[in-house]
Amino acid sequence: MRGFMTGVLDQVNHISSYTSKLLRKKFGRGPESCSGTLSKRYLLLHIRGFISPMEEVLLQQGKSNDVDNARAVVVANVLEELKGVVQVSLDVDVIEYYHDWNFPNNTGVIILVFEEELNHTENFVKINNVQEFEKEIARISALVQKVPDEMETIPLSDKILLVRRDGILIQIEKALIAKGYKNELLITKDQLEKEYFHRYSKFTEILSRNVRDIFIDWDVHEDKSYMVFILQ
């Protein structure tokens, strides 16, 4: 078992290093750090210190939406290549991937979802007050859209919580997506949800720990979303 886990961790470190090199190749500058966390059906890559010189200029000019759109196009290409590397390295099929970036903190995450759980990768991290935590997520979600139909919290480590929300789109959002306004909607949702989750939530009191970062991405066609909470 120990040898198996050592092998898996080596592969995760290899994937993290490969991701850094791939980002450097595509953007001209790699991240300061890229660390991987593997648990059950998920591999999360936490990226720090990754803004290219061109993006930095645009952000200084207040054009964060332009940076979002441009980065999404390039990262989609990165993820297609990364998907193959992960599948070969871990011998598992990657069925979904998500990403999000926090420009003020210069951080980001990439989430890869596997078709099935990897053997011997389950962790036994527990979080206190998980029901209260999910109720708070539902409350904030309802302020900006609706209470999710379903929700699951997956502790990836003692500092990283992954939350899957299913059934969160309201009818007007679905209509906007159908009319081709997906990108505009996602940028607006990203800004609005993060503002509400940071400013109006009680996560610190519920978890008895500060939340350092919140990342959110959506699959609007499947009507689901993943959130990542990075804790102090």
Instruction: Quote the DSSP letter at residue 75.
Output: H
Render pLDDT for 63-87 as a digit per residue (tens, 0 to 9).
988 888 888 888 999 999 999 999 9
Question: How would residue 213 be classed by pLDDT, with cut points 50, 70 and 90?
Answer: very high
State the pLDDT at residue 52: 84
Task: Give yes or no for residue 126 having a pLDDT over 90.
Answer: no
State the pLDDT at residue 183: 87
Question: How would residue 121 be classed by pLDDT, with cut points 50, 70 and 90?
Answer: low
Percent of the chain with pLDDT over 70: 94
CB 192 within 8 A of CB 144: yes
State the pLDDT at residue 27: 86
State the pLDDT at residue 6: 62
What mean pLDDT do residues 184-202 have?
92
The distance of Cα 11 from the centroid of its chain, to the nearest Å, equals 20
Question: How would residue 5 be classed by pLDDT, with cut points 50, 70 and 90?
Answer: low
Whole-model pTM?
A: 0.91
Mean pLDDT of the chain: 91
Task: Give yes or no for residue 148 having a pLDDT over 90.
Answer: yes
Q: Which residue has the higher pLDDT, 172 or 54?
A: 172
CB 158 within 8 A of CB 229: no
What mean pLDDT do residues 47-55 have?
89
Q: How many CB atoms lie within 10 A of CB 91?
A: 9
What mean pLDDT do residues 198-221 have?
94
State the pLDDT at residue 123: 58
State the pLDDT at residue 47: 96
